[in-house]
Structure 1
Amino acid sequence: MSETRVSIAIEGGIADVRLARPDKMNALDPAMFDGIIDAIATLEASSGLRAVVLSGEGRAFCAGLDMANMATGGSGLDIITRSWGPANQVQQVAWGWRALKVPVIAAVHGIAFGGGLQIASGADIRIVAPGTRLSAMEMKWGIVPDMAGYALWRGRVRDDVLRELIYTAREFSAEEGVGFGFMTRIAEDPRAEAMALAKAIAGRNPEAVRAAKRLANLEGDAAAILMAESVEQKALLRTPNQIEAVMANMQKRPPVFTD
């Protein structure tokens, strides 16, 4: 991974992923973009993966773009080519978590500005520490959110609230973030809470969890989603893991699933 900007440790099917540029509050420079994209690719290829916890080292989750680096011509980022399905290079650092086959839980603390807020928004669930400062800050720099934010926030954040926050670039609190729909819930220790949740998810039928995420990611008309539900359910019924889930519940014992 590029300059160790992102660390990954996998144990018990749970990936502990950390943005690792604490001296810069995990601000996004080209090496950080590459590191996050590489991390997502590594996780996608990992067998036995059940859940991911995404956090930032140091004082912040992610302070957004490293503007000093970008101002000196350090970007070199491609925002036109679609190399990751519908996403370009900068969008993949957020959209990639949404597209990952297993649930991703973001543990957010300190600061999540601009691109940092969008990266957290790519997670399935976002647990935030009290006192965390949040902002869709791009308008401060005369630009718009372009790391998949609009696609990730649509349907989650009320439209007029989202417009106000983007147009003004104002900061908002963790409590407001939960109320607005950017964050899921508040916890004093969001990383510990995220790890506990990941362990709970890892104890469920992995095939059913992956199917549930595919369904949750679907967009389209009701008929298409209803059919997708039926297709996913038919594929799960009477499989070894589904039978094991039933037997473990009936026998009041921990399940033993296979991938």
Structure 2
Amino acid sequence: MTTGTLRVERHDAYVLATLDRPERRNAIDQATIDDLHALCAELEATPATLILAGAGGVFAGGADIAQLRERRATDALRGINATAFARVHALPMPVIAALEGFALGGGAELAFAADIRVAAPTLRIGNPEPGLGIMAAAGATWRLPEIAGYGVAADLLLTARILDADEALRLGLVSRVVDDPLAEAIAIAEQIAALDAAAIQATKRALAAPRADHPRIDGEEQSVLFESPEKERRMTEFLERRARR
């Protein structure tokens, strides 16, 4: 399925959504945001692991500057990109970003909304917004401290510094650097698909919960899983395999 600015492909183990404006370095415009909302609605109703990628060797060079230039205070208060990226992050199943080339500005913030980020050696990631007279306001100011710590986030956001793949790995912005990030993302999605979907969703909910909710939320989520037929089936199979050795 193609939805304007997103090329969406459904597979058994995952859904692949490719930002598809290569002539604009996959700049995130209003149509992209609309397509992301439509895709999120689908994945909220039918959960599946989502892989985000970009066409033409680039993830996303940023938000569409021509549209940003025309936005005013009321647009900022609507949180146009922030709302869409928050919805991506809140999806029931994991979100994996396959990053190559530029992931700048809004592109970086969309990547930060993913649960897992894998990168090609070509990656250049960061938030240059202050050079354009604005700030990173679609998630970087709260997600980046959670990902890499306040000191790293302050360094990057207050200097508009762009990182290469090796430094992004060292600072924890990505978890893997590989020659083919899309193939790696697919392998991760297939690994996830072999696990219990309910357990994965419970784990993601627990990961997203504030520290004050732990350990209560872990016990609540585990109590549901302890009563599931899938837990019984998987543990029985494990014990039977061990007994046959």
Q: Which residue of 250, 253, 257 maps to 2:239?
A: 250
Q: Which residue of 48, 51, 68 maps to 2:49?
A: 51
**Deviates most, 181-190 or 28-37:** 28-37
Q: Which amino acid aligns with 1:218?
A: A
Give the Å deviation of 1:3.
Answer: 5.7
CA shift digits 1:36-90 (9 cap, x unpaired): 22222221122xx34111111112100111213433x378983324xxxxxx332
Q: Name segments (4+ residues, structure 1) moved above 3 Å.
A: 74-79
Matched position secondary structure for 1:156:
helix
Matching residue of 2:136: 145
Percent of aligned positions with the same letter in both sequences?
Answer: 29
Distance in 2, Cα, partners of 1:157 & 1:125: 13
Matching residue of 2:42: 42
Distance in 2, Cα, partners of 1:151 & 1:165: 13
Q: Which residue of 193, 196, 200 maps to 1:202?
A: 193
Q: Which residue of 225, 228, 234 maps to 2:223?
A: 234
Give 1:110-259 correspondences, 5 Å limit.
110-221=101-212, 224-252=213-241
2:68 aligned with 1:67? no
Equivalent pair of 1:51/1:102 in contact (CA under 8 Å): yes
Give the Å deviation of 1:92.
Answer: 2.4
Distance in 2, Cα, partners of 1:53 & 1:251: 35
Distance in 1, Cα, partners of 2:32 & 2:64: 10
Q: Which amino acid aligns with 1:37?
A: H
Superposition RMSD on alpha carbons, in Å? Answer: 2.2
Q: What is the total number of aligned residue pairs between the two structures?
A: 242
2:75 aligned with 1:78? yes
Matching residue of 1:17: 17
CA shift digits 1:155-205 (9 cap, x unpaired): 321322211211111211111111122111101100000000000101111
Q: Which amino acid aligns with 1:61?
A: F
**Deviates most, 15-24 or 151-160:** 151-160
Greater helix content: 2
2:91 aligned with 1:100? yes
Q: Which amino acid aligns with 1:56?
A: G
**Deviates most, 187-196 or 236-245:** 236-245
Unpaired stretches in structure 2, ≥5 consecutive residues? none
Distance in 2, Cα, partners of 1:90 & 1:75: 14
Distance in 1, Cα, partners of 2:231 & 2:75: 43
Query: What is the TM-score normalised by the length of structure 1?
Result: 0.86
- In structure 2, the CA distance between the partners of 1:78 and 1:241, relative to structure 1 (3 Å rule), is farther
